[in-house]
Amino acid sequence: MNSGATSAIAATALRKSYGNKMEVLRGVDFDVARGGIFALLGSNGAGKTTVVKILSTLLKSDSGTASVNGFDVATQAADVRQSISLTGQFAAVDEILTGRENLVLVARLRHLKHPGTIADDLLDRFSLTDAAARKVSTYSGGMRRRLDIAMSLIGNPPVIFLDEPTAGLDPQARIEVWQAVKELAEHGTTVLLTTQYLDEAEQLADRIAILHEGRIIVNGTLTELKQLHLPAKVEYVEKQPTLEDVFLAIVGDGGKDSDAGNDRSVARTSKEQR
Amino acid sequence: MTKHFFGDTAVLLGRSLRHITRSLDTIITTTIMPIALLLLFVYVFGGAIKSGSDSYVNYLLPGILLITIASGISYTAFRLFLDMKSGIFERFQSMPIARSSVLWAHVLTSLVANLISLVVVVLVALLMGFRSGAGVVAWLAVAGILIVFTLALTWIAVIPGLSAKSADGVSAFSYPLIFLPFISSAFVPTDTMPGPVRAFAEYQPVTSIVNAIRDLFTHEPVGTDIWIALAWCVGILIVAYIFAMVIYRRKIA
């Protein structure tokens, strides 16, 4: 963690209820240092999307404050929007346009010079060059998500929100997305990722916060979280391949030479093909 | 951010216009019903209708044009609904752009799409024998009324577009609007209608708009109808705009 002068994201006592019945957020506090991947982990309906919407200026909190890249989300919304990109829960791409047109569209809306060059570079980086001239409606789920994330990179915003980026994807597409997210963090971008998949948080995140019933109940690195809650125990376990390993081995691709097994604390990040 | 309003609106308008050129079927579906009504009424019922005009197609066209717009705006609502549902609306709103340009792009797209449909319907009417002695000024006046009417209905369409929960619900609002011309002077003169129906027909917006356009086409003095027509259109436009904005603000912080 390379902590900058100010934190990339800071939320203090955020509260939000919809209508007057349901209180979704009941005082959410957290801080994300610059750089790296921060995972907001929680089950369905825990309020993850609400947090992301407040931070990306799509929703106003009832009380509490939040800042992104040093700008207050309520009073400096325009500066916040200049600093972020949001990749929502569903791949927010234009189905009728081609992949390239989607990228050019976003580059134009960010008022950048040479939108065509920017689009071509990203198509190349996300291995979408062959599909560039095809309508997005013909893309697979994984391709859509890759395009979606590529669209979020345009203009190099320092903070990127990814709301459940792998929901509904097959295992291969999931690995593709993980790969893309890791690359983002390597470029120095701060990534806030929400997920309900424990293994996703474990694979990607430098820090993990668990959102439960409208509050952050723990926040720390994976090691810290493990030390906090469960004493380590030594077990001898036969290393059976998981179904995911089997699936990927049979189907090929994905670039994983399986080290099957349950011991996931061993970092597996570096062995994927780059 | 407002300094980018026109640029952003132009970029987003370009996007929506691509949607239209790539799915021309929406234009075709929009024009099929009004053209079918035109054929049905001119060649089947028209002979039995005493419209007081030499040519029934001349009498009927203004009302058919309004029906074309009423059926066209259901696609405006549908396009907006798709953007809301797919999340691309939120993506745009979280970007450093003039936020209102997202909505204005949809409104302008609606205007362009409806104008294309109107041209198609007028061409069909010309083939069916529609003739007008109207000069350039009168045609411009007709175009002006139709544009204001389209904008008024478009802002009505924005309301379900922003708030509908399902694709079926989003276009249902247009059915009463399509039906409204039937209880007006669009198809038959109002004086044969029984009292209460006639009263409704004469004081609802479609009648004044239809009469104003008809007078412009037939070279008659338009009288007060055109002002009543414009007052209705502008009034509906303002009320619909206010409601649409209230819903828009509620959706977007």
Residue B96 and residue A82: Cβ atoms within 8 Å?
yes
Q: Are A76 and A57 in contact (CB under 8 A)?
A: no
Nearest chain A Cα distance for residue B178, angstroms: 28
Q: What is the mean pLDDT of chain A?
A: 82
Contacts A91 to B, Cβ<8 Å: 87
Question: Is residue A269's pLDDT more than 80?
Answer: no
The residues that bridge with A195 in the sheet, in sequence order, are A41
Residue A78 and residue B11: Cβ atoms within 8 Å?
no
φ, ψ for residue B57, nearest 5 deg:
-65, -35
Pick the closest to residue B181 from B69, B39, B57 (CA basis). B69
Residue B96 and residue A59: Cβ atoms within 8 Å?
no
Who among A59, A81, A135 is closest to B95 (CB)?
A: A81
Neighbours of B73 (CB within 10 A): 29
Neighbours of A91 (CB within 10 A): 27
Residue A96 and residue B8: Cβ atoms within 8 Å?
no
Residue A263: the pLDDT is: 43
Residue B65: the pLDDT is: 93
Residue A88 and residue B90: Cβ atoms within 8 Å?
yes
Q: List chain B pLDDT tens, one digit each, 253 residues.
A: 467 889 999 999 999 999 888 887 888 888 888 899 888 888 888 777 777 777 888 888 999 999 999 989 988 999 999 998 888 998 999 999 888 899 999 999 999 999 999 999 999 999 988 888 788 888 999 999 999 999 999 999 999 999 888 888 888 888 888 888 888 888 888 888 888 888 888 888 888 899 899 888 887 777 788 888 899 999 999 999 999 999 988 877 5
**Distances from the Cα of B196 to the Cαs of A274, B180, B182, B190, B201, in angstroms?**
77, 15, 15, 11, 9
φ, ψ for residue B37, nearest 5 deg:
-65, -40
Beta strand A9-18 with A22-32 is antiparallel
Q: Which of B22, B91, B100, B252 to mutate to test the interface with A (most CBs of A within 10 A)?
A: B91
Taking one residue from A and the other from B, the number of pairs with CB-CB distance under 8 angstroms is 68
Beta strand A190-195 with A159-163 is parallel
**DSSP conformational letter for A234:** -
Nearest-5° Cα angle at A152, A147 to A155: 125
Residue A264: the pLDDT is: 41
Nearest CA in chain A to B248: A58
Which secondary-structure segment (H or E) carries B89?
helix B88-93
Who among B8, B86, B94 is closest to A86 (CB)?
A: B94
Residue A85 and residue B94: Cβ atoms within 8 Å?
yes
Asked casually if ipTM beats, i.e. exceeds, 0.90, the reply is no
Structure tokens at A88: 């929502």
The residues that bridge with A87 in the sheet, in sequence order, are A162
Q: Are A140 and A102 in contact (CB under 8 A)?
A: no
Distance CA B172, CA A141 (A): 31
Q: Which residues of B touch A (CB under 8 A)?
A: 1, 4, 7-8, 11-12, 15, 18-19, 22-23, 86-88, 90-97, 252-253
**pLDDT confidence tier of residue A271, bands split at 50, 70 and 90:** very low
Residue A35: the pLDDT is: 84
Nearest chain B Cα distance for residue A40, angstroms: 20
Q: Are A251 and A237 in contact (CB under 8 A)?
A: no
Residue A104: the pLDDT is: 95
Distance CA B205, CA B191 (A): 17
Condensed to tens digits (0 to 9), the pLDDT of residues A146-183 reads 899 899 889 889 999 998 888 878 888 888 888 888 88
Pick the closest to residue A88 from A55, A43, A117, A64 (CA basis). A55
Q: Are A111 and B7 in contact (CB under 8 A)?
A: yes
Beta strand A84-87 with A159-163 is parallel
Question: Is residue A261's pLDDT more than 50?
Answer: no
Q: Are A182 and A160 in contact (CB under 8 A)?
A: no
Residue A88 and residue B8: Cβ atoms within 8 Å?
no
Average pLDDT over residues A92-117: 93
Residue B88 and residue A105: Cβ atoms within 8 Å?
no
Residue B253: the pLDDT is: 59
Question: Is residue A265's pLDDT more than 60?
Answer: no
Q: Which of B13, B15, B95 to mutate to test the interface with A (most CBs of A within 10 A)?
A: B95
Distance CA B47, CA A175 (A): 70
Least confident of A80-89, A142-151, A220-229: A220-229
Who among A89, A91, A110 is closest to B95 (CB)?
A: A110
Nearest chain B Cα distance for residue A1, angstroms: 27
- Tell me if the pTM is above 0.90: no
Distance CA B113, CA B71 (A): 11
Contacts A153 to B, Cβ<8 Å: none
Residue B91 and residue A56: Cβ atoms within 8 Å?
no
Largest CA distance in chain B: 60
Distance CA B237, CA B235 (A): 5
